[in-house]
Amino acid sequence: MKILHTSDWHLGRTFHGTSLHDVSERFIDELIATVTEENIDAVLISGDVYDNATPSTETIQLLNRALTGLVAAGAQVIFSSGNHDSPRRLGFGAELFATAGVHIMTRCEQAWQHPVILSKDGARVGVYAIPYLNPRYHGPVLGVEPTHAGVLGAVTERIRENIAELRKEGNLDYSIALAHAFITRAPAAREQEDTGGEQTALTEPARSDSERDISIGGVDAAPASLFDGIDYTALGHLHRRQRVSDTIRYSGSPLAFSFSEENHVKGAWLLTLTRDAGGVSASIDPINWDTTLHLKTLRGTLTELLNNPAFEPYEDAFCRIYLEQENRPLNPVEQLRKRFPHIASFEFRSTVEQVQRSPYHRTRENITPQVMCREFYAYVRGAPLSEREEEILTAIIEEATEPGGDAADSKASACSSTD
């Protein structure tokens, strides 16, 4: 039996004001092709199917196309609501969809009362889908502390009871839980993060900028020990594919949704379950997606950014540009868009020492025109005047304040009107 663990599709997402619908369509096409080619029996989606609670008609149609294609490819689909989804909207028609092999879990009690039982070649697998549970609401309902650890602990305890009952009856060989939460490793359990080649030791899962804060009382984490006794836990919420432990994993999002993810290798986890004399064993392998949202952070002077051939591969990417040189040129973004039309973020960073930016509420008695102009220029530009600019400023001020001149009379009149 083959089971594909995905999550955080975020259909309907935009990136810096640009719709990602077309890219999401390509991902769905690749997903359906993969399920067909690999003969995958079930696809899991661990929450955040949609990017918001009120998806557009176009986005709903895309999910419909995805589910239709996956079922036609021979797979059952099991998914739960995430913190971005509306449980009521997502769960509409769930009983009817289940008859077609699409199992939508949006209610708390479904997690332990209605596991989806998958059967193939004598192996019976129970899938327990836990929707995102808001601790403030579900804590009192479950009779526990209104924390993520409290509500998840109450649900997983009930799931373990159901697993024990089914095993006792001989009706279960392997258990899988879906959850949408931030789950931390035990301090002593250092695992290896999968980055598509490079292995990095981490003490807790890595976050991304595109994930919504789910803190309650300043705490958003729950311990991995809550899933003890469950054979595999398919997590959603964090957008980087990574391990919490060998049996507790995040699949990550299929696309990069922030520049903090530009170096992520996006994909999913493929569980291959095999039954033998000792029971059901699982091998877990990564699957990488070819569909990507090409993001790149670029740094350099305006001349380098416009002319360096090393930047050619990124001309069609969504770019975050840091312009690093002494002075800010005129209309830099307009010039850069001629080469990089998809500039999502731009920031000028002067390479000279920054001066302190402060307001200029000083009286005429303690500040000279030279100092006022110099500080105002530095405040606006973020860098001091050059030697040549100081010379020009001095000449202008001397001409304007020359005794008997029209400029001096005008300045005096202007000053007197503010006294």
253 is written with which tokens? 């999002």
Q: Which of 211, 292, 213, 299 shows the shortest CA–CA distance to 258?
A: 211
Contact 1, 231 (CB under 8 A): no
Cβ-count burial 100-117 (b if 16+ within 10 Å, e if not): ebbbbbbbbebbbebbbe
pLDDT at residue 377 in the model: 78
Residue 385 identity: L
pLDDT at residue 294 in the model: 96
15 is written with which tokens? 């990136």
What domains does the chain contain, in order, with CATH numbers? Answer: 2-188+199-288 (3.60.21.10), 295-356+368-386 (no CATH)
pLDDT at residue 403 in the model: 61
pLDDT at residue 400 in the model: 78
pLDDT at residue 186 in the model: 58
Predicted model pTM: 0.81
Cβ-count burial 309-337 (b if 16+ within 10 Å, e if not): eebeebeebbbbbebbbeebeeebeeebe
pLDDT at residue 48 in the model: 97
pLDDT at residue 251 in the model: 98
- Beta-carbon count within 10 A of 239 CB: 29
* Residue ranges in the chain modelled with pLDDT below 70: 186-203, 217-219, 353-367, 379, 381-382, 402-419
Tokens 């998958």 correspond to what residue?
118
